[in-house]
A and B are shown apart, each in its own frame.
Chain A
Amino acid sequence: MDFDLTDDQKLLTDSVARLLGDRYTFEARKGFQKQDAGWSADMWGQFAEMGLLGLPFDEAYGGFGGGAVDIMLVMEQFGKALVLEPYLATVVLAGTALRVAGSEAQKSAILPEIIGGAMKLAFAHGEQGARYDLSDVTTTARKAAGGWVIDGAKSVVLHGDCADKIVVSARTSGDRNDEAGITLFLVDGDAKGVTRRGYQLRDGTRAAEISFASVEIGDDGLLGTLGTGFAVIGRVGEAGISAMSAEVVGSMDKMLDVTLDYLRTRQQFGKAIGENQVLQHKAADMLMATEQGRSMSMLAAMMVDETDDAERTRNFALAKVGVGQAGRFVSQNAVQLHGGIGMTEEYLIGHYFRRVMMFEHSFGDTAYYLNKLADQVH
């Protein structure tokens, strides 16, 4: 086992931390959120300049050739600053779909555009009735001359409102839960028949409801091969869990820091509230949860490229539960230890609280993965 980072990885972490420390203060973030897009195009440009948008992509396309650990390091820093930009959607989710299933032509057309910051993508898979069920797809794609016609609707598509291209899952055969009948497609965000309604999620990031009404795409819009979308969707979800887990770890670090500061400075009954042992123990519990969560986030990162399917899915279930529970514990106690101030929109803790809440309901919640693990107990 080796927990050490390479020099390049240390450099990456430091430079992202420095950029965000300078430019992504809590106050600056409020300004970004108020911009029309709900995030900062300027910061997006900075990420491109630093090479973050090309982190997981091959050098052949102008990428950095990095792996899940590099993404983890960046996302931890993003979690500390609560970054609003469409990094997860573009680089991690849609980016994974392209890496795993894209044709050479698709990759060389799109990846350089992503890497340079010119193109944003979204991954449109979840539907209203589907909850966490990855095979539950009712959106359809039917073959037409020279291409495909897509009909249906996708729900809570992360950063779906600003995406130039959308990776869409659609049913090409079988009934509602048939894994073998799912295929992925690439659709232009402004294609005829695509309607997007963008809105803000509880954590301040953007999402969209997207409907597809007889959307026509060419044969080159097929991503991967017919009927093999389900496996790709699984990998995309895992990449998402890994990246967001790291983000939650960063958020936990920040919440713990801020809470400790508050325990040291807030005076009640003539002394710092942190002198009360019951609060010291709560803080110690928060520390333990953060560290346990960090371990599970590392596990997720190590599993992204694991080829043994059973091993990989089992470990992702363990990691998702571990990070989810840690995040809930730390964020609930961060509010509690602050008293009234922790309940206010003006203070930063609540914003971390809601980001962590979003994580728990993305890519399957704690109950969902506990069930998966329980099914394996014999």
Chain B
Amino acid sequence: MDLRFTAEEIAWRDEVRAFIDAELDPALRERMRVGFGPTKQETIDWQRKLNKKGWACPGWPEEFGGATWTPVQRLIFNEAIQSAPAPDLQGFNITMLGPVLAHFGTPEQKAYFLPRAANLDDWWCQGFSEPGAGSDLASLKTAAKREGDFYIVNGQKIWTSTAHMADWIFALVRTDPNARKKQEGISFLLIDMKTPGITVRPIISIDGSHHLNEVFFDDVKVPVHQRVYEENRGWDVAKYLLGNERSGIARLGKSRANLEFAVDTARQVRSGGAPLVEDRGFRHRVAQIEVDIKALELTQMRVIAAASKKSDGKPDPFSSLLKIKGTELLQATSELIMDTGGPMAMPIWASELHALGNEPIAPEWAGYMAAPYLMLRAASIYGGTNEIQRNILNKAVLRL
């Protein structure tokens, strides 16, 4: 046992960091540091730079452009990206769809979609949740009726992140309403967002941003060859995908970057006549988060090391642990940022800029400090709520 990185691993981390330093637009990096997300175009540009370098889809099989990195190397890569901070690999394309197609797709599907996904030529979104099917995903109702070489899709998805910027959606649909078990009548379809009959309606979130959408399907014709895997076996595909989604969700590097930003800001904020960073209570909060980050970092390594030794391809229930603890850290660090901003984090600076005659009402960092706190309340909801993750741990690990 040795918990330290090897010399090779450290060299690898330095290589990734050097690449980021050289290639990432410093203005974007600074905006991300203070809490902004990248625009669609910025994500695409960055993804393409990574693609050129051969780093766009490290988790995929090698034949489709994946990297031959060890699990630890992959972790180092992700963390370097997140803590830079640079845009994450586009999750729907890279973490979710890619591995699914590589595992379940037809040769034609692989040949056409995988390279385009890696290069972000297509922006994918995830059409799983429905108004009546959230935690109970398998109760989904969006219907796909077979007519010759097509499915006719009718129904509604909700909470579809970035659907308004997406070219394609991968969706779970019900192909057999009479199946014995609700999990058994579901199929996994790839649907072009330009197909007639699709309507996207925005949902504004409590941070004021437009990230979520409703997607309506009204007699949408989808060629049968755009189904992944067998008809009525879509649940197997979904489970495979969700396992991957969860493990990517810890985003420890992002929490680390958040913490750094909070501390950096606390050096500039005065409290009781001294910089806030000198306040004992503030430091205790930071210290506690550092403890939690370290524990999760090592647990994550252990989960990854164990996963790389088994080859049954089944999702590891311990990915639920990573999801819960990782999102708790995202929430704790964004909360710390908001508290550090204090009263100056309260105005809606960005959207009220015009009203203010374009003059900031506080130091520039302050205006964005509450928005990530608000948005990250969703971290314990998306990707399967943290209650559901605990249910999974109970069932699959503790066997209660």
Q: Which of B325-378 contact A (CB under 8 A)?
A: 338-339, 342-348, 352, 355-357, 359, 361-363, 370, 373-375, 377-378
Binds A, one of B99-107, B241-249, B265-273, B305-313: B265-273
Partner of B347, one of A156, A276, A339: A156
Q: Across the interface, which residues of A come within 8 angstroms of B373, CB to CB?
A: 357
Q: Across the interface, which residues of A come within 8 angstroms of B134, CB to CB?
A: 268, 339-340
- Is A354 part of the binding interface, using a Cβ–Cβ cutoff of 8 Å? yes
Q: Across the interface, which residues of A come within 8 angstroms of B344, CB to CB?
A: 128, 155-156
In the complex formed, the residue of B with least CB distance to A273 is B135
CA distance A336 to B134 in the complex (A): 13
Partner of B377, one of A129, A202, A336: A336
- Is B279 part of the binding interface, using a Cβ–Cβ cutoff of 8 Å? yes
Q: Are A133 and B381 in contact (CB under 8 A)?
A: no
Q: Are A126 and B343 in contact (CB under 8 A)?
A: yes
Given A276-B387, A344-B204, A350-B206: A335 in contact with B377 (beta carbons within 8 A): yes
- Is A4 part of the binding interface, using a Cβ–Cβ cutoff of 8 Å? no
- Is A200 part of the binding interface, using a Cβ–Cβ cutoff of 8 Å? yes
Partner of B203, one of A200, A269, A344, A374: A344
In the complex formed, the residue of A with least CB distance to B357 is A197
CA distance A374 to B273 in the complex (A): 17
Q: Are B348 and A199 in contact (CB under 8 A)?
A: yes
Which of A130, A198, A350 has the largest count of B CB atoms less than 10 A from its CB?
A350
Given A209-B361, A339-B134, A343-B205: A361 in contact with B342 (beta carbons within 8 A): yes
In the complex formed, the residue of B with least CB distance to A209 is B361
Per DSSP, chain A at the interface is mixed
Partner of B271, one of A133, A344, A354: A133
Q: Are B343 and A362 in contact (CB under 8 A)?
A: yes
Q: Which of A347-371 contact B (CB under 8 A)?
A: 350, 353-354, 357-358, 360-362, 365, 367-368, 370-371
Q: Are B347 and A207 in contact (CB under 8 A)?
A: yes
In the complex formed, the residue of B with least CB distance to A276 is B387
Q: Are B346 and A156 in contact (CB under 8 A)?
A: yes
In the complex formed, the residue of A with least CB distance to B354 is A199
Q: Are B158 and A340 in contact (CB under 8 A)?
A: yes
Interface size class of B (residues with CB under 8 A): 35 or more
Per DSSP, chain B at the interface is mixed
| A199, chain B: closest CB distance, angstroms | 4
Partner of A278, one of B269, B377, B387: B387
- Is A22 part of the binding interface, using a Cβ–Cβ cutoff of 8 Å? no
Q: Are B387 and A279 in contact (CB under 8 A)?
A: yes
Q: Are A345 and B208 in contact (CB under 8 A)?
A: yes
Partner of A345, one of B158, B204, B270, B348: B204
CA distance A52 to B134 in the complex (A): 45
CA distance A96 to B104 in the complex (A): 70
Q: Across the interface, which residues of B come within 8 angstroms of A361, CB to CB?
A: 339, 342-343, 345-346
Q: Are A343 and B279 in contact (CB under 8 A)?
A: no
Q: Are A131 and B390 in contact (CB under 8 A)?
A: no
Q: Across the interface, which residues of A come within 8 angstroms of B135, CB to CB?
A: 268-269, 273, 339
| A350, chain B: closest CB distance, angstroms | 3
Given A371-B272, A371-B281: A202 in contact with B381 (beta carbons within 8 A): no
Q: Across the interface, which residues of A come within 8 angstroms of B377, CB to CB?
A: 332, 335-336, 342-343, 353
CA distance A198 to B270 in the complex (A): 25
Q: Across the interface, which residues of B come within 8 angstroms of A267, CB to CB?
A: 132
Partner of A197, one of B136, B139, B355, B387: B355
Partner of B362, one of A155, A340, A358, A362: A155
- Is A318 part of the binding interface, using a Cβ–Cβ cutoff of 8 Å? no
CA distance A166 to B238 in the complex (A): 60
Partner of B270, one of A133, A202, A374: A133
- Which residues from chain B sit less than 8 Å from chain A, CB to CB? 129, 132, 134-136, 139, 158-159, 203-206, 208, 212, 269-273, 276, 279-282, 285, 338-339, 342-348, 352, 355-357, 359, 361-363, 370, 373-375, 377-378, 380-382, 385-387, 390
A-B pairs with beta carbons under 8 Å apart, 22 shown: A131-B271, A133-B270, A156-B346, A156-B361, A197-B357, A268-B136, A269-B136, A335-B381, A336-B385, A340-B381, A343-B205, A343-B377, A344-B205, A345-B205, A354-B206, A357-B346, A357-B370, A358-B346, A367-B281, A367-B282, A371-B279, A371-B281
- Which residues from chain A sit less than 8 Å from chain B, CB to CB? 126, 128-133, 136, 155-156, 177, 197-203, 207, 209, 267-270, 273, 276, 278-279, 332, 335-336, 339-340, 342-346, 350, 353-354, 357-358, 360-362, 365, 367-368, 370-371, 374
> With A136-B270, A197-B355, A340-B129 given, can you name 8 additional A-B contacts, CB distance below 8 Å?
A133-B272, A199-B361, A209-B361, A267-B132, A268-B136, A268-B139, A350-B205, A353-B377
